[in-house]
Structure 1
């Protein structure tokens, strides 16, 4: 976890926010939901919701993607921005939405059994078939 202050906005700018506090390094997720949502594997950081401050959320919409999670996106430009496990105090944020420099690093590959066949997983990162315990 890294203590950072970052700014972010979607492609059209209708959703913009600042984050502060501790950010988890990026996890690449290869589950079928992330593949279908992003068109490729997803790369997410995570912060506590109290450390997320919206500057604008005019077109923020949420889609309940499973019994346990929802995904936030821009209904104007289509940017996929958030993944939230319902009932938790944290929110995962698509790493590509942050302005550079982020000072974040990719740390692990998760749900690797779901990956598509057209790309390779980084062989230097730890790999997990599911979400790692602990």
Structure 2
């Protein structure tokens, strides 16, 4: 993906969708405890875009002020963390995992590494599950999937008007 390409994304259920135009600045992995809790994970991948280049294309985020300086946007329906915003600045950070193509944005830095998990260096040494999903199980998951696809849709769930 080129630096000036639009990046679309949204939550797991499809109730909130967005477009970020142009380059995402400072794509990084934040290991701070607030990001860990907000993501329900060991770190949060974030990248910034100017407010003038950011548009909600469906729905509205709910907001939680995780500190007096920062608010975090998420889907009020499915809970997907979407945004890290510092009110008064000219940019908003989006969670890189909420992009339709998260592989297109490679982090360039890590921050707040004092809270980084002490065992991350050993992850590549963990054994891999020996068997991939069976075709029957993959088909069953695909047939019952309620997750929004990784692209914009005219309406969601499919068949409903937006």
Question: Do Structure 1 and Structure 2 share a fold, with TM-score over 0.5?
Answer: yes
Runs of 4+ in 1 over 4 A off after TM superposition: none
- 5+ residue gaps, structure 2: 124-162
- 5+ residue gaps, structure 1: 123-134
3-state SS, counterpart of residue 110 of structure 2:
strand
Aligned residues: 121
RMSD of aligned alpha carbons? 2.2
* Alignment partner, residue 22 of structure 1: 23
Task: Check conservation: 1:4, 1:23, Cα contact below 8 A.
Answer: no
> Which one has a larger percent strand, Structure 1 or Structure 2?
1
Task: Check conservation: 1:6, 1:102, Cα contact below 8 A.
Answer: no
The TM-score, its normalising length taken from structure 1, stands at 0.81
Please point out which of 46, 49, 54 is paired with 1:47: 49
Structure with greater Cα Rg: 2
> Which one has a larger percent helix, Structure 1 or Structure 2?
2
* Alignment partner, residue 126 of structure 1: none
Matches within 5 A, 1:60-79: 60-79=61-80
Matches within 5 A, 1:1-134: 2-39=3-40, 40-58=42-60, 60-100=61-101, 103-120=104-121
